[in-house]
Chains A and B, each alone.
Chain A
Amino acid sequence: MSEKVIAINHLQKKFGKFLALKDVTFEVKKGEVFGFIGPNGAGKSTTIRTLLGILRASGGTATIFGKDVWQDAVQIHKRLAYVPGDVYLWPNLTGGEIIDLFLKLNHQQHNARTDELIKQFELDPSKKTRTYSKGNRQKVALIAAFSTDADLYIFDEPTSGLDPLNEEIFQKQVLALKQDGKSILLSSHILSEVEHMCDRIGIIREGRLIETGTLNEMRHLTRTLITVQTQSSLPDLRNYNGIHDFKLAKDVINKASFSVDSDKMGAVMTLLAPLSITALQSTPPTLEDLFLRYYQNDEHGDDHHEI
């Protein structure tokens, strides 16, 4: 299982003087779903376009299936399917025609699975793509990719135009691919999407890959925001291990809000339970929180960090 499908080493990409990718290093192993997350403009799409041989790397190396992504692009692409973040299609062709064309370009045919996917995603393939919405254009690319038999699937923010129902179909399809032992690179800025599906995660910010690991390994990075109200008097938990930014409410007694390291959640709950909780609100950590941590770490050094 440890065979590398994608291996990127100190990848750099310059556009004129602007260094879009400063240092990106990660790998995707065979059979895993790798989540590639970062805010807009961090370099996700640039990395992916370099992987596809659309852009030429300015430094470092990148290989897929052990082959160079620039030199051997065609060989690599025979075993690859890709869905871009913004799908643009020829306005005077129909969705159905484009799906078939994409399959043929990989020497594959429209098959029963294609029909099944068209039905699941509820796409009308007889319409010209000029009349499609963003979501429908995305469906065309997704249907073509999912019905392609490939070894590596690359999705660049694939659900940005999909409604929750279609998003769920997408997630199911990705999990099905994973069961078949396919490798998947999924770029996203929605943490929950990545959490559902990914085995490992890489975080990119300002052209630098700053962290890779499993979600569990990254738990230290995620804190849950808790607001609690109790009947018994609420002690000051300011210095309790794993609790941060503890604030007592000014106008209501026994009410406080604070954030908890995800791995200390159990202990904190045990502590609160005897105090007769009347209201408890927890907000899961967002990608934003994750990045905020990094900003903090950059500015103040490693505060409150327990590994």
Chain B
Amino acid sequence: MKSSNYQQSLFLTRFNLKRDGLLILVWVLVLSLLMSAVAFKFNDLYGTKDAISSIVLTLKTPAMVSLFGAFTAKAPYTTADIFASEMMVFMALFMAIMNIYFAVRNTRGEESNGTVELIAAHAVGKQSPLLAATIELFLINLFMGCLFFLGIQISGMTGMSTIGNLLTGSGLAACGFLFGSSSLFMAQISDNPRGATMLSYLFLGVTYLIRMITDVKNADWTYLSPFGWVEKLSIYDQNNWLPVLFMLSLTTVLLLLTFYANRHRDVGAGLLTTRGGRKRATFLLSGPFTLVMRLDRLSLIAWILGLCVMGISYGSIFGTVGDILKANPMMGSLLGKNALNAASHLIVLKFAALLLIVFAVLATVPSMQTLLRINNDERKGWLEQIHAKAISRNHIFISYVAVALIMGTFTLLAAIFGMWLANAAVMKDPLTLTRLLRGFWGYLPALYVILGIGALLVGWLPKLQAIIWLLPIYGLISLYFGNLMNIPKWAQQITPYGWINQVPVNNVNWTNFGLLLLLALILFIVGFIGYQKRDLLEN
């Protein structure tokens, strides 16, 4: 380790921070405001003993445990216990996503767009760009952690403690930095940003699912998953600092590996290298539609598999979720066997209805990405030559839209199918596929309407199209926490995700189905008119 390897690292860090300032600010503000706003609201929501004891019962059900983590606090429960139990897993997930974003962008992303080469030609150390990116990540997480701490500290929530607040901030920051470091490592493994992001999410996904399943089956095993460590902090109860140590140790190991790998490779190279391919195009690559399909092939497969595995994981706990007797043995004597089955089905269906919101939002991600590519690919100059061919804008637009719809449809279907598959395997009296598919028919048009709004932006406001992401983010937060935080009905119904009425508990409202599809169609057409009339973006 020669110091010359790290020359100018701090200068680069400052430069990076300046460059990313606005983005960092947006992420940090959104996350810390979310956290503090919830903390402020909690005294109203769960201020009374009754409110607390009723929510504790809910949080102890397997369904809620799978979504928010095991509720381990000891009685007497305080408002702060509820807060910690509802927020930690969720915030940790967002911290991980933010860290993956910045880690890939600032390492492999910079490398593949050639910036690293430019910088490396100056009097900077070989590993300075990597060190600068690492320091930047560290600072972002530190900043984030401080704001979390401060936000809760001034919220005056009943039952909180300074040490617990400090642990919340430190734990989330350490968790974020852990996933950021895993992503820095993945950026050494893959030789392109997309691959690095996929590997990072693979790691996050696997650790999240292990956490989810172990929480429901036996919470002691949750230690197996690095993601599960945030739960083990036992905030406001035991205030256990040991998991923070775990996180920092794993982070150190990951960083050592990252720097080792970085030292032993060329700029631009990765452990998994880009292989050669066909010399000739097959019939599967012969026009705009097949082209977009081909470009998104890997993403389509990965998302379908990912959501299917997620569906299977949640489906596999349906048995536990529906086990009323476990939570309340008295029920068995009160209800007959049939009534018991019906009640258990209802619980599972309600659980599935909540999960479907998550699935619908997740299915939005890859399909919206494909849709936004109409402009993003344009900006990269990839479409210029296509436009010079005998291909109308019509054809290009419809090709992207079609692939986006296919993406959304099949990822949503895969999640539900996975859920059914696992439920059929574990339940004595499983839910039928038709019943679960109500969720598919229910949420599909909502997904299409959201894509339609995306198409509108693509056509008319190409430079601002990224604001479409607010819809799924807000939709997820407003509906996921809808009942737990008493978010008013109108606020839950701002996004189209909130327009769907509790499928698969209820029947699909086919009138709504038709109307939403019509609305989506109109949105796509209006978007297309905008796209057809304007200048294309130039790189």
Interface residues of A (CB under 8 A from B): 15, 49, 52-56, 73-75, 77-78, 80-84, 86-94, 96-102, 104-107, 110, 125-128, 130-131, 141, 144, 154
Contacts and interface: CB of A to CB of B under 8 A. Distances in A.
A19 B530 CA distance: 23
A81 B533 CA distance: 23
Nearest to A156: B384
Contact of A106 (B389, B392, B538): B389
Given A54-B384, A107-B390, A125-B280, 18 more contacts: A77-B391, A80-B388, A87-B385, A88-B381, A94-B276, A97-B281, A98-B281, A99-B281, A101-B286, A102-B385, A104-B285, A104-B286, A105-B390, A110-B281, A126-B276, A128-B274, A130-B112, A154-B388
Contact of B279 (A88, A104, A126): A126
A52 B390 CA distance: 11
A101 B388 contact: no
B392 A73 contact: yes
Interface string B252-289: 00000000000000000000001111111100011110
A82 B388 contact: yes
A74 B396 CA distance: 12
Given A100-B285, A127-B276, A52 B387 contact: yes
Contacts of A73: 387, 392
A106 B390 contact: yes
B537 to A, nearest CB: 10
A138 B158 CA distance: 66
Contacts of B391: 74, 77, 105
A105 B389 contact: yes
A83 to B, nearest CB: 8
B426 interface: no
B295 interface: yes
A92 B286 contact: no
Contacts of A92: 274, 295, 298
Interface string B523-539: 00000000001111011
Given A54-B384, A84-B385, A96 B539 contact: no
B281 A104 contact: yes
Contacts of B538: 49, 55
Contacts of A102: 385, 389
A52 B388 contact: yes
B278 A101 contact: no
Contacts of A104: 281, 285-287
In terms of DSSP, what is the predominant structure of the interface of chain B? loop
Interface string B368-394: 000000000000111011111111100
B384 A88 contact: yes
Contacts of A74: 390-392
A165 to B, nearest CB: 23
B192 interface: yes
A127 B275 CA distance: 8
Contacts of A75: 390
Given A96-B281, A104-B287, A105-B287, A54 B389 contact: no
Contacts of B381: 84, 86-88
A94 B389 contact: no
B281 A101 contact: yes
Contacts of A80: 388
B57 interface: no
Contacts of B192: 91, 130
A94 B278 contact: yes
A86 B391 CA distance: 21
A82 B385 contact: yes
B48 to A, nearest CB: 57
B386 A105 contact: yes
B284 to A, nearest CB: 10
7 contacts: A84-B385, A93-B295, A97-B280, A105-B390, A126-B278, A128-B274, A130-B192
B294 interface: yes
Nearest to B298: A92
Contact of B539 (A86, A91, A101, A125): A86
A56 B535 contact: yes
In terms of DSSP, what is the predominant structure of the interface of chain A? mixed
Contacts of A97: 277-278, 280-281, 285
B274 A93 contact: no
Contacts of B120: none
A93 B279 contact: no
A110 B536 contact: no
A18 B475 CA distance: 40
B278 A77 contact: no
B321 to A, nearest CB: 41
A94 B277 contact: yes
A87 B291 CA distance: 17
A110 B385 contact: no
Nearest to A144: B385
A77 B280 contact: no
Contacts of B534: 56
Which of B112, B390, B391 has the most C-beta atoms of chain A within 10 angstroms of its own C-beta? B390
B467 to A, nearest CB: 21
Interface in B484-539: 533-536, 538-539
A90 B390 CA distance: 19
A98 B281 CA distance: 7
A155 to B, nearest CB: 11
A58 to B, nearest CB: 10
A206 to B, nearest CB: 19
A170 to B, nearest CB: 17
A77 B390 contact: yes
A55 B276 contact: no
A56 B393 CA distance: 13
A74 B536 CA distance: 16
Contact of A110 (B280, B387, B389): B280
B295 A90 contact: yes
Nearest to B377: A90
A90 B382 contact: yes
Nearest to A99: B281
B118 to A, nearest CB: 15
Contacts of B392: 73-74
Contact of B382 (A54, A56, A89, A107): A89
A259 B300 CA distance: 65
B281 A55 contact: no
A94 B280 CA distance: 8
B138 to A, nearest CB: 30
A82 B388 CA distance: 6
Contact of B277 (A53, A126, A141, A154): A126
A30 B278 CA distance: 38
A141 B390 CA distance: 16
B390 A96 contact: no
Given A86-B539, A88-B380, A100 B390 contact: no
A290 B74 CA distance: 86
B388 A100 contact: no
Contacts of A125: 279-280
